[in-house]
Amino acid sequence: MDLFAKLKRLSDAFGVAGHEDEVREVIRELAAPYVDSCEVDPLGNLICSRGDGPVVMLDAHMDEVGFLVRWVEKDGFLRISPVGGWDERLLLGHRVVIRARDGRKVNCIIGATPPHILSQEERKRTVPLDELFVDVGAKSHEEVEGMGITIGSPLTIHYPCELLRQGYATGKAFDDRAGCLVALEALRLTAGERLPYRLVVNFAVGEELGLRGAKAAAYRIAPQVALALEGTVGADVPGIPEAKQPTRIGKGPAITVADRSIVVRPRMVEFLEDIARAEGIPFQYKLPAYGGTDAGAIHLERGGTLAGVVSVPCRYIHSPVSLLSLSDLEATVRLVVGFLRRAVELLG
């Protein structure tokens, strides 16, 4: 299976924060041949490990932003609450998938008032999320219940992952299915090597709800060194000056210096720089201090952990569809593989 095919499997899987079961099973299947064990903790983190000795941890979060059904109207329309951060400007009229109680996927639409009956002022107004409704093609509350949809059912905007053109992929949840794929590929490419430490890869739940899964997993794993893998903000688009573009696609993996959750120790930043230069890997810096990652929780657990962040630049994250460069994805894999081969230098 080539890199894009794996990305498509991960992106298309359902994994709204708190409901990561489907994506977790895809990851478990892809990871199992390359590790000694895969365990699911009480929160739902998938913790895969191999080897012995001091612990080096990789982390990538499985969850994606989405919604929960918060009310079912008498006439069958749904009201929703956000799970994670959405831009309200982008939500009207999109295709949505709801996961019913029995696991079935139900296609529906975030409804919109036709512009023909709106005033000029109403057309300019951003509809607040708490005013949105979802149309499942039902006529009553009872019909919705018969579909297995109830208060708390998870849903998210869904467009299938596909190639926009050769070398560029579009799809949902690249934050952080791109990071999950980097971790999986790093496991695969180092599987035949005896690394001088215990490698533990945490596929985390609940990052979009406040780094919850990574916090619990890091306490359990107790790593000496950790690297969080992300799909991050690519903002190289018209109207955004370069000084405000956290990353740019096509420029290689992004090394974090600081964000809202961590100031990365220079030792880690310089270590990642050295690997990239030695391997001829193009890289960039994620401009401080936008966003946050699981490293923010991991580096504070127990007595503290030397932690860093490497990200795949992705345009339009936390929107209905994202875009990434497969060359950036491949280069990020190379950087993380190089990190694993030299991580022993950071131990002790």
Q: What is the mean pLDDT of residues 329-338?
A: 98
pLDDT attached to residue 87: 87
Q: How far apart are CA 151 and CA 145, in angstroms?
A: 10
Share of the chain above pLDDT 70, in %: 99
The whole-angstrom distance between residue 270's C-alpha and the CA centroid of its chain comes to: 25
Q: Is the pLDDT of residue 319 over 90?
A: yes
Q: How far apart are CA 189 and CA 258, in angstroms?
A: 29
Q: How confident is the model at residue 1 (pLDDT cuts 50, 70, 90)?
A: confident
pLDDT attached to residue 15: 97
Q: How confident is the model at residue 130 (pLDDT cuts 50, 70, 90)?
A: confident
CA–CA distances in Å: residue 116 to residues 12, 95, 122: 34, 21, 11
Q: For 216-271, how does the pLDDT look when each residue is reduced to its tens digit (9 = 90+)?
A: 999 999 999 999 999 999 999 999 999 999 999 999 999 999 999 999 999 999 99
Average pLDDT of every residue of the chain: 95
Q: What is the mean pLDDT of residues 337-346?
A: 97
CA dihedral 63, 138, 109, 103 (to 10 degrees): 20
- What is the dotted CATH code of the domain comprising 66-157? 2.40.30.40
Domain ranges of the chain: 3-64+172-346, 66-157
Bridge partners, 199 (sequence order)? 50, 56
Token pair, residue 173, equals 């949840």
pLDDT attached to residue 122: 67
Bridge partners, 108 (sequence order)? 96
pLDDT attached to residue 177: 98
Sequence-separated contacts (24+) of 277-280 with Cβ below 8 Å: 278/338, 279/334, 279/335, 279/338
Q: What is the mean pLDDT of residues 205-225?
A: 97
Q: How far apart are CA 217 and CA 201, in angstroms?
A: 10
Q: Is the pLDDT of residue 160 over 90?
A: yes
Residue type, 262: I
Residues with catalytic function: 207
Backbone angles phi, psi at 237, to 5 degrees: -130, 160
Bridge partners, 162 (sequence order)? 170
Question: What is the 3-state secondary structure of the chain?
Answer: CCHHHHHHHHHHCCCECCCCHHHHHHHHHHHHHHCCEEEECCCCCEEEEECCCCEEEEEEECCECEEEEEEECCCCCEEEEEECCCCHHHCCCCEEEEECCCCCEEEEEECCCCHHHCCHHHHHCCCCHHHCCEECCCCCHHHHHHCCCCCCCEEEECCCCEEEECCEEEECCHHHHHHHHHHHHHHHHCCCCCCCCEEEEEEECCHHHCCHHHHHHHHHHCCCEEEEEEEEEECCCCCCCHHHCCECCCCCCEEECECCCCECCHHHHHHHHHHHHHHCCCCEEECCCCCCCCHHHHCCCCCCCEEEEEEEEEECCCCCCEEEEHHHHHHHHHHHHHHHHHHHHHCC
Q: For 262-316, how does the pLDDT look when each residue is reduced to its tens digit (9 = 90+)?
A: 999 999 999 999 999 999 999 999 999 888 999 999 999 999 999 999 999 999 9
pLDDT attached to residue 182: 98
Q: How confident is the model at residue 75 (pLDDT cuts 50, 70, 90)?
A: very high
Q: Is the pLDDT of residue 48 over 90?
A: yes
Architecture of domain 3-64+172-346: 3-Layer(aba) Sandwich (3.40)
Yes or no: say if 64 and 233 are a contact pair by the CB < 8 Å rule. no
Share of the chain above pLDDT 90, in %: 90
